[in-house]
Structure 1
Amino acid sequence: MPISRKATASLLIATCLLAGCSSANDDAGDSGAAPTGDYTVWDPYPQFDDSSDWVKLLSQCGTDAGVTVKRTGYDTTDLTNKALLAAQQGNSPDVLIVDNPVVSTLADAGVLTTTDEVKVDTAAVSPNLLAAGQIGGKTYGIPIGANTLALYYNKEVLDKAGVDPAAIKDWAGLTAALDKVKASGKKGITFSAIGTEEGSFQFLPWFWGSGANLTQLDSAQGVAALTLWTDWLKNGLAPNSVLNNTQTTSWQEFATGDFAFSENGTWQLANAKKTGFEYGIIPIPSQAGGVAPAPTGGEFVTAPIQDDTARYAVTEKLVNCLTNADNAFTTDTTLSYIAATEAVQTKQVAENPELTVWVDAVKAAKGRTSDDLGTKYPKISQPLWTGFQAALSGSANPQDALTTAQTTAAAATK
């Protein structure tokens, strides 16, 4: 007999020793009619209090749906744990907003409804962004927006080196630019290659930009991507500090004014305006030319499974309210996200032309769990970051480092 999704969630989660969880649904019972009263929303934005535009939007969406929204903001990791435990206990929130790689984990654990079950229309969403929430042909949420990576540059440093950033279209052009910057007495490029998911996130544009696939880490293309990074360090075009850099510390290096380029995300736009020097942004180039696929960040609005399925009628209204064009524009501006639909992206660029490069980057981006990798992705990402750390530190050459990574990933994903 097939095991129900609720039972699957319980079996998968039973071994987790997690902290306590607040009750999320006091209206259990299959009543057959959409309940009124309180509807719970959990999100990963604890930085927003009740006076913020985000919380005001949640409240307004509840009012429009004829219910009261009870919202709780958690740190991202804490939110995932609490969502799993709540599903085990039958206390899931009505709406759950989670980082896009987590969607596959929760769906695999039997925590989430599909968009078909809750009748959420995803037709206008860019397919490459929606793919992060798709597993086995089913969609488990809708993106609230996305961020990704590009290259910030210091105009003064490039001018001194005689580099035109608009002329950089491929890896060879970028490396040649870095050589000129070094010759001019400045530093080349800074990024994060730390041994965590943050490092993998920053490596993926180069890995995917080579034509490599996460199912074969040690392909010739993957080795070429890692060789690019290791050669930059060997030749003094990138600092050894990248081995320990987070995206924040990498940005702090760029903000000193000594570096030509920084690989970083939309979330640094406000900080870029505070650097005191003129900056610009170009997409990360692929090896052969064009925009490299960078990984998408950002959250999905999902609807956890409820015992009382009549609640889904109101849940649908809440999800649609949070993701409709007008509200998505306001929310994505607040979160420094690029919208998930072309119509809102066009509106963003019209208001702020600086976002054009980010819209282009998001259009070329892909989810880390895309290609139906789902819950396999974390089991691939860890060997990947272990591999590039080994190569960058000099303890293995790129080929050997990625061969070891592939062996580990293949065993973990059987």
Structure 2
Amino acid sequence: MSTHRRKKLSALAVAVLPIALLAACASGGGGGGAGGDAGGASEDEELTLSAFDYYTDEPSHTNMGNRLNECAAEVNATVEHRSVPSNQYNQQVLQAIQSRDMPDILMVNNPDLPQFAETGALRPLTELDIDTSAYYESVLNVGTFEDELYGLAPNVNSLVLFYNEAMLAEAGVQPPTTWAELEAAAAALTTPDRYGFVYAGQAGTEGTWTFIPFLWSNGGSQLELDAPEAVEALEFYTGLALKGYVTKDVVNYTQADAKDQFAAGRAAMMINGPWQIPSLNETEGLEWASVPIPVPNAGDDVVAPLGGELWTVPVTDDERERRAAHIVECLNAPETQLETALQNNTVPSNEEVAQQLIEEMPEMASIVETVATAYPLTGDSGTKWPIVNEQISVAIQSVITGQADPQTAMESAQAIVSAE
């Protein structure tokens, strides 16, 4: 990301309006602390710590519980590991904040960090002596709220452009790197039997997330949706559907639906994430590759949203926080990052380990390249993200379905965002 763009995004992140949510709950329970250093455990006392995440599926739940306890054993502790279904998770965390009964270790989906951090229920990791020197700056940005680092992501992901190698070769098309090349490729690859391009356009985070790289790479902001950069991004993005290179059915497509269309040969290119790689590899006869998402002009940085869960340390007492911080650091160990990346098609947050990943999985090279210049999904909207997410979705859908032009759609979206 250019220096100018990063300064703009950072300034917007600081300027967002906070939500008035349980601000008095600066002291968590964490299984037995009232906050600060009052009544804390001693350094040689064996402790049972608690951890929350939403890894309810097996073997993820068991694997994470084992890993937490392996790390806890290094600091004379054990971990009671609780996994809550993802659709109930935020409500459970907010209830824990309100009742001052926070776990000692809390996993947070990165778009949700602002609403939890602003309550004062999380301890800044900079106060707990965790070494972050080997991390991508983009990853540290994901765990930062109002200039304080609250969470670390062992592994991250983002979005890239996947393409069907055989289809591009047959059409004499090179993998596109700019918007002009993307449109030309989509046009050349569109036939009576397939579309040139497909993406997720369904209302909600999946659809919005897929559009954000076009907004940000063009210098746009989530908080200035009626600005020329944002309108231009929406005009280009939706224009591919209006011109017939992308099916208008994308307004109903999730990322999984887009993958299915691509895998079935009904689209030659798609925007998607590395979590689709196992399914693509299992598709008989499919030869695919990927490149970073095309940018407005040659030489521009692609600025895509960064996905991944963060490990945080809620406020309890000094000793519980110290041991919880060790566990968080242990969960982020280089060997763990690489092992997880190889298993889950994610990118290690440690830059050197990410390069090791490319050596073992060359197909992850475009993802690693994208991560280096990526930005937190809520980086310029903060606690306004829910309303921004909703309004961008409405704008995308209204243009593709012919209910509004890009300028009108973005002006309407900005009016609602500004009013909140």
Assess same fold via TM > 0.5. Answer: yes
Aligned pair in 2 of structure 1 residues 50, 210: CA closer, same or farther (>3 Å)? Answer: closer
Deviation at 1:319, TM superposition (A): 0.8
- 1:209 is aligned to 217
Distance 1:320 1:106 in 2: 20
User: What is the alpha-carbon distance in structure 1 between the residues aligned to residue 235 and residue 260 of structure 2?
Assistant: 25
Identify if the C-alpha distance between structure 1 residues 377 and 355 changes in structure 2 by more than 3 Å, giving closer, same or farther: same
CA contact (8 A) 2:23 2:120 kept: no
CA deviations 1:306-333 (Å, max 9, x no partner) are 1x33211211211111012112222233
Contact 1:148 1:295 in 2 (8 A): yes
Structure 1 length-normalised TM: 0.89
Compute the displacement of 1:230 (Å): 2.4
Other structure's SS at 1:188 match: coil
CA contact (8 A) 2:391 2:416 kept: yes
Q: State the distance in 1 between where 2:413 and 2:313 align.
A: 35
The 8 Å contact of residues 9 and 87 in structure 1, kept in 2 or not, is answered as no
Over 3 Å counting, the alpha-carbon distance change for 1:32 and 1:186 in structure 2 is closer
Q: Give deviations 1:241-278, integer Å, cap 9, x for gaps.
A: 11011111111111111210111001111111012211
Aligned to 2:174: 164
Partner of 2:69: 59
Equivalent-residue separation in structure 1 for 2:31 and 2:131 (angstroms): 25
CA distance in 2, matches of 1:203, 1:265: 13
Query: In percent, how many aligned pairs have the same letter?
Result: 28
Alignment of 1:376-395 (within 5 A): 376-395=384-403
How far is 1:184 from its partner?
7.8
Q: Relative to 1, partners in 2 of residues 1:48 and 1:61: Cα closer, same or farther, differing over 3 Å?
A: farther
1:281 aligned to which of 269, 276, 290: 290
Pick from 321, 324, 329 the counterpart of residue 315 of structure 1. 324
Q: Structure 1 336/47 Cα, relative in aligned 2: closer, same or farther at 3 Å? A: farther
TM-superposed CA distance for 1:27, in Å, is 6.3
Which residue in the other structure is 1:45 paired with?
Answer: 55
**C-alpha distance after superposition, 1:384-408 (max 9, x if no partner):** 2111111111100000000111111
Deviation at 1:297, TM superposition (A): 0.7
Distance 2:259 2:333 in 1: 33
Are the aligned partners of 1:157 and 1:258 in contact in 2 as well (CA < 8 Å)? no
In structure 2, relative to structure 1, the CA distance for the partners of 1:207 and 1:50 (3 Å cut) is: closer
1:93 aligns with 2:114: no
Matched, 1:142 2:122: no
Tell me, yes or no, if structure 1 residue 370 matches structure 2 residue 376.
Answer: no
Shift of 1:159: 2.0
Residue 348 (structure 2) pairs with residue 339 (structure 1): yes
C-alpha offsets along residues 202-245 of structure 1, whole Å, 9 cap, x if unaligned? 11011112221222111212111111122211221001111011
Distance in 2 between the 1:36 and 1:394 partners?
64
- 1:92-131 alignment, distance < 5 Å: 92-131=102-141
Aligned-partner Cα distance in 2 for 1:32–1:202: 46
Distance in 2 between the 1:297 and 1:50 partners?
Answer: 18
Three-state SS of the structure 2 residue aligned to 1:65 is coil
Indicate the residue corresponding to 1:303 in structure 2.
313
Letter in 2 for 1:251: K
Over the residues paired in the alignment, what is the CA RMSD in angstroms?
Answer: 2.1
Whichever residue aligns with residue 192 of structure 1, its letter is A
One-letter code of the match for 1:220? P
Deviations 1:17-55, CA, capped at 9 Å, x for gaps: xxxxxx961566623524423111112221234885433
Gaps of 5+ in 2: 1-19
> Residue 202 of structure 1 contacts residue 263 of structure 1 at CA under 8 Å; is this kept in 2?
yes
TM-superposed CA distance for 1:75, in Å, is 2.7
Offset of residue 88 of structure 1: 1.6
- Normalising by structure 2, we get a TM-score of 0.88
**Aligned counterpart, 1:68:** 78
Q: For structure 1, which segment, 153-162 or 330-339, has the greater mean C-alpha deviation from structure 2 after superposition?
A: 330-339
Where 1:382 maps in the other structure, the secondary structure is: helix
- Given the alignment, which residue of 10, 26, 31 partners 1:25? 31
Is the contact made by 1:229 and 1:392 (CA closer than 8 Å) also made in structure 2?
no
Q: Tell which deviates more after alignment, 33-42 or 356-365.
A: 33-42
Contact 1:210/1:225 (8 A) holds in 2: yes
SS in 2 for 1:192: coil
Distance in 1 (CA, whole Å) between partners of 2:201 and 2:391 is 13
> 1:171-182 maps to which residues of 2 (within 5 A)?
171-182=179-190
Aligned to 2:248: 240
Q: Give 1:330's match in structure 2, choosing from 339, 352, 364.
A: 339
On the 8 A contact 1:9/1:110 being kept in 2, the answer is no
- Structure 1 portions without partners, runs of 5+: 1-7, 14-22
Deviations 1:131-186 (A, max 9, x none): 12222221111122111000111112212222122xx2201011111111125853
